[in-house]
Structure 1
Amino acid sequence: MKAKIAHFRGGKHTQTNNHMLLVAVGVDNREKASKLVGKEVVFLTEKGNAISGKIASAHGNSGVLRAVFEKGMPGQSIGKEVEIK
């Protein structure tokens, strides 16, 4: 399943670099998003390196997912696709 990285998870004054918000194809409510919790996520960089993570929870009621990656994500990853396994 494909998903697109929407943004970093953050607050008013903070940004968490290894937490990303994902918008998955065909997921449009919290119930569908909750079924994906615990699945592995892989992001491929332009060099071909893989950064893996895991879906931690749903974010809001419109089907957005929160993924925690093993290390901080580059800013260039926003708008790029990830693979949900």
Structure 2
Amino acid sequence: MVAPTASEPRTNNNGHRLYVKGKHVAFKRGKHTLRPSTSLIKIEGVDDPQAAHFYLGKRIAYVYRGKKEIRGTKIRVIWGKVARPHGNSGVVRAHFKHNLPPKSLGGMVRVMLYPSSI
């Protein structure tokens, strides 16, 4: 089989990616206090706490672009980990190495499918 050239479109659009898309919904909070060390993430296709249990311990990446080029790229990543389910709608709590910035609210995160428990 010959690989398609840049001018030819690919015939099969089954992209193989090692992550599921998620959305940074909010920071964990109480009635008066905001806790930016814990982020609430809504994962695509997860609608109940039982489905959210599959993602416990999985790595999460928030990918963004910086202004300056560092080590040859402007793309930066903040890594985190799924800690536990949150509520009954399939949202999960995640802890990141550095707290996510407020501009990430509503933005996409990548929930990696590793480390695998199956």
TM-score range, shorter chain: over 0.9
In the alignment, which residue of structure 2 is the partner of 1:6? Answer: 25
C-alpha displacement at 1:79, in angstroms?
A: 0.6
1:5-84 correspondence runs (5 A): 5-47=24-66, 48-84=75-111
Quick one: percent identity of the two aligned structures? 36
Secondary structure of the structure 2 residue equivalent to 1:49: strand
CA distance in 2, matches of 1:35, 1:27: 10
CA RMSD of aligned residues (A): 0.9
CA distance in 2, matches of 1:15, 1:45: 23
CA distance in 2, matches of 1:62, 1:72: 23
Extract unaligned runs of 5+ from structure 1: none
Extract unaligned runs of 5+ from structure 2: 1-19, 67-74, 113-118
Secondary structure of the structure 2 residue equivalent to 1:3: strand
CA distance in 2, matches of 1:59, 1:25: 15
TM-score of the aligned structures, taking structure 1 as reference length = 0.94
Where do 4+ consecutive residues of structure 1 move more than 4 Å? none
